Chains A and B, each alone.
Chain A
């Protein structure tokens, strides 16, 4: 379930976007705060639609939010 290879920039993007809270982001993408915590911590790999919704909130591409590190 958890994908350690999938890194993300959600924390940085939240702070760059007016210090958005985890709850605010969760409300924007329609998930619980727990899920945002799990994604930020790299413990849960979100589905593709959710990844797109997160990217859309920050107005960036999906690659700017998530990147896959092979190995």
Chain B
């Protein structure tokens, strides 16, 4: 596994855990369980820890050639996947409140920064997933 694969795998794992905890927090809130705020804080912390883990543990390779044309092509495709994910996310988040709450409902203004943070997360998640898929999940093609 190369550095970008390790970073992507870390981000996919932490984001998935964060997403799972986030959904759990929402369910807890809906069902009236009091500790949903703690669960939500944990979700954000876990999702955000991926970047910090990557910075601490996955330093740049010392090999003569750290990346080449294939890596650049993979990163380019991954950026496109990330962009597509953000696009999809913004469309969904813009129309979901209407579909769920109805046309006459109102949403808090905190929806907007939440939308921005969520877009960032979805971009990084899709990009990491695209990198892992293109490298073949670090298997035979990934070359350990």
Which residues of B, 64-90, contact A by the 8 Å Cβ criterion?
Answer: 64-71, 73, 77
> What is the interface size of chain B, counting residues whose CB is below 8 A from a CB of the partner?
19
Q: Which of B64, B67, B77, B141 contacts A38 (CB 8 A)?
A: B141
Residues of A within 8 A of B73 (CB): 1
Cβ–Cβ contact A32 & B141, under 8 A = no
Give the secondary structure class of B's interface: loop
B29 shortest CB reach to chain A, Å: 43
> Given the interface contacts A38-B141, A41-B141, A43-B141, does A31 sit within 8 Å of B70 by beta carbon?
yes
State in angstroms the CA–CA spacing of A32 and B143 once bound together. Answer: 10
Residues of A within 8 A of B69 (CB): 31, 35, 46-47, 50
> Given the interface contacts A1-B73, A43-B136, does A34 sit within 8 Å of B143 by beta carbon?
yes
B134 shortest CB reach to chain A, Å: 7
Interface residues of A (CB under 8 A from B): 1, 26-27, 30-35, 37-38, 41, 43-44, 46-47, 50
Cβ–Cβ contact B134 & A1, under 8 A = yes
Cβ–Cβ contact B68 & A35, under 8 A = yes
State in angstroms the CA–CA spacing of A43 and B73 once bound together. Answer: 13
State in angstroms the CA–CA spacing of A35 and B70 once bound together. Answer: 7
